[in-house]
Amino acid sequence: MEIKNTEDFNKHIKRVLVSEEEIKAEIKKAAAKIDALYDGRPILLVSILKGAFVFMADLCRAVTVPCEIGFMCAKSYYSGTVSTGVVQITMDLDRDVSNYHLVIVEDIIDTGRTLNDVVKMLKARNPLSLTVITLLDKPSRRLVEFEADISLFTIPDHFVIGYGLDCAELYRNLPYIAEYTEN
């Protein structure tokens, strides 16, 4: 994939899978679920970078419970669009989570490996509670058993881009979620 101009960039966007309006509507519902779940208790939203940064930005402005935000960087290595199954924490949270209700904010659950590892690690630090919310879920691709507590969209086995999700670091800035095509 060599992107030299807007034309190169655009030709890999096959079709819009989830529109801006649909994302907005589902975030509103998901935020209401979080509000109901915590009922005024403060939470710590933890976003897994980089993919979840856009979702996090919209979700944190839609919840009304008192909320702090934190970031972690977990890399699941991809060669092109294929997962290689290696998960590494390249940036950890900057605080002790034992006094927090944690809400892990993820962009997509694919094989399930990233969240399976991250959740195991965070649970070992004894937070008050832990909930996982994901924007997208590709259940047909699961290699380890993992379910999010809240999932906004279930999608078929397509490689998707936009709204934070990348292909070789590009396309994160698309305001919608699209299907990626190689040519």
Q: Which of 47, 114, 131, 151 binds ligand IMP (CB under 6 A)?
A: 114
Using CB under 6 A as the binding rule, whether residue 137 contacts ligand IMP is answered as no
Please say which residue, 51 or 127, places its beta carbon nearer to Mg ion. Answer: 51
Instruction: State which residue, 59 or 65, has the beta carbon closest to ligand IMP.
Output: 59
Q: Is 152 in the site for ligand IMP (CB under 6 A)?
A: no
Whether the bond between 33 and the residue before it is cis, its omega within 30 degrees of 0, is no
Choose the stretch contacting Mg ion; rule: CB under 5 A; options: 5-13, 47-55, 114-122, 155-163.
47-55
Judged by CB under 6 A, which stretch of 20-28, 93-101, 121-129, 159-167 contacts ligand IMP?
159-167
Strands (DSSP E) contained in 7-117 are 13-18, 43-49, 67-79, 82-91, 101-109
- Alpha carbon distance 82, 180 (integer Å): 13
Q: Which is nearer to Mg ion, 51 or 162 (CB)?
A: 51
Angle at 96 between CA 114 and CA 127, to 5 degrees: 65
76, 47, 172, 1: CA torsion to nearest 10: -10
Output the smallest distance, CB 64 to ligand IMP, in A: 27
Residues 6+ apart with CB under 8 A from 79: none
Q: How large is the angle between the packed helices 53-62 and 20-38, nearest 10 degrees?
A: 60
| Pick 66 or 175: Cβ nearer ligand IMP | 175
- The footprint of ligand IMP on residues 52-111 (CB under 6 A) is 76, 83, 106-111
Distance CA 148, CA 96 (A): 23
Active site residue 110: yes
51 near Mg ion, judged by CB under 5 A: yes
Active site residues: 110
The site for ligand IMP (CB under 6 A) is made up of: 51, 76, 83, 106-114, 159-160, 165
The site for Mg ion (CB under 5 A) is made up of: 51
